[in-house]
Structure 1
Amino acid sequence: MKVLGISGSMRRKGNTAILVQKVLEEVVKGNDSIETEFISLADYEIGPCIGCDKCKEEKECVIATDGWNRIAEAMLDCDVLVVGTPVYYYDVCGQLKNCIDRTYSMYHDRKLAGKYVVTIAVHGTKGADRALETLEGFANTHEFSYLGEIEGQAAEAGEILNDAKALKEAQKVAKRIAELG
C-alpha cells in the first residue's frame, strides 16, 4: 500500500507540512508494508486549469509547462492521499486550489475513484471548517473513500507541534490508514 502526503503550503517546513508528515510517520510505525511519499507543492509551480476541456479527449491535462504531471502521477500511484492546506482567507491556499482544479483532467474517467483520503487544514484562529469543506468537495467529486479530517491551529513556525488535539487526531487517522494495509 502506498500513502501520498501532499502539503499545499508554500512553506516547505511549515505547520501544514509538519502535520501531513506526522500522519505519514505514524502510518509506518510498526508496518513495513506501507510505503509513503511526501510532496510539498512549494517545490512545484502549478498553473491554473484553463478550462480548455482538451483533457476529455486526451485523457490527461494538456498543459505540460509546469509541475502538474509529477503530482498527477503520484496521485494516480497512491492508495491513500493525505492532503493538507494552510487556511488563507477561510479556504484552501491558492497553490492547492490550482492543484485541485487540475484534477479535473482525472475526473472524466474517474481515475481517483476508490482511493482513500484524509484532509488537513491548519488555521491561525479560524476558517479551517470552510477549507475542510472545500477539500471534502474535492474528495466527494472524485469518489474517494473518506478516512477523516484533521483541523490544526498554528500560526508561528512549528507551533503545530503544540496542538495536542491535532497530533492526537493525526495518530488516530494514521491508525485507520495502517489498518487498511
Structure 2
Amino acid sequence: MQVTALVGSRRKNGNTAFISRKILEALRTALPSVETELLFLGDFDIRACTGCEGCQKSWDCIIRDDYAAIVSRIDAADGLILASPTYWYSVTSDMKRFIDRSYSLIQYPVSRREWISKYSGTGKLCVTAAVCEQHDESMMGSTLSLLNDFSRDLGIEAVASVKAIGHFDAGSVGGDSAVMEQAKRAGRLLAERLDSP
C-alpha cells in the first residue's frame, strides 16, 4: 500500500509540511505496512498548461517536464495527500500549476458538459490540508475547497480535511493541539479506509 503527499509549500519545515508529516505519521502508526512519501511540488519542473488539448486522447500531457513523474506516483498510490498554504486566498502557484496540468487526467467522451477521470472507479482516497496565516477563516478563501473539488473531479474520494488558521511562523502549528488532532484523525481515518476490504 502506498500513500503520496503532494505539498504546495516551498518551506520544507513550514506549517503545511508539518501537518502533512503528522498525517503520514498517524497513518503509519495505524497501518504499519503502508509506504509513504512526501513530495514538495517546488522541487519539480512543472510548467504552465498551454491549453493545447494535446492530452485529450491519451491521458498524457505532451509537455515534457517533471509532471509525468508525479502522475506516475499517483498512478501507483492508493492514497494521496494534497496540502497547500494560502497565497492570496488560494493555493500556491506550485500547486495551481500542478492542478492546471492535471487537465490531462480528464477526458470528455460525449460532450464538454461531462467528463471522466483517469482515476474514476479506482478506489483511490485523499486527505486535503490547508494553512492560513490570518485568524479570520474567510481569508483562507478557496484554498481548501479547491483541493477538495480537485480531488473529487479526479475521481479520488476526499475522506478528511485539515484546516489550520492563524499560523505563519514555521512549525507554529505543532503547538496547536486542535489542528494536530485534526491531522492525527485524518491519518487514522485514511488508514482505516485503506485497510477496509
TM-score (norm 1): 0.93
Alpha-carbon separation, structure 2, partners of 1:36 and 1:161: 21
The reply to whether residue 168 of structure 1 matches residue 175 of structure 2 is no
Aligned to 1:74, the other structure's residue is in SS state: helix
Aligned residues: 180
Give the structure 2 partner of residue 3 of structure 1. 3
Aligned to 1:177, the other structure's residue is in SS state: helix
Q: Which runs of 4+ in 1 moved over 6 A?
A: none
Alpha-carbon separation, structure 2, partners of 1:98 and 1:139: 15
Pairwise mapping of residues 1-181 of structure 1 onto structure 2 (< 5 A)? Answer: 1-64=1-64, 66-108=65-107, 110-113=117-120, 114-125=123-134, 126=137, 127-128=139-140, 130-153=142-165, 154-179=167-192, 180-181=194-195
* Equivalent AA in structure 1 for residue 57 of structure 2: E
Unaligned runs of at least 5 residues, structure 2 = 108-115
Aligned to 1:88, the other structure's residue is in SS state: coil
CA drift at 1:27: 0.5
What's the C-alpha RMSD, in Å, of the aligned pairs? 1.5
TM-score (norm 2): 0.86
CA drift at 1:62: 0.6
Identity of aligned residues (%): 31
Contact in 2 for aligned 1:12/1:42 (Cα 8 Å): no
Q: Which shifted more, 80-89 or 151-160?
A: 151-160
Provide closer, same or farther for how the CA distance between residues 137 and 122 of structure 1 changes in structure 2, counting only shifts above 3 A. same
Alpha-carbon separation, structure 1, partners of 2:69 and 2:8: 15
CA drift at 1:11: 1.6
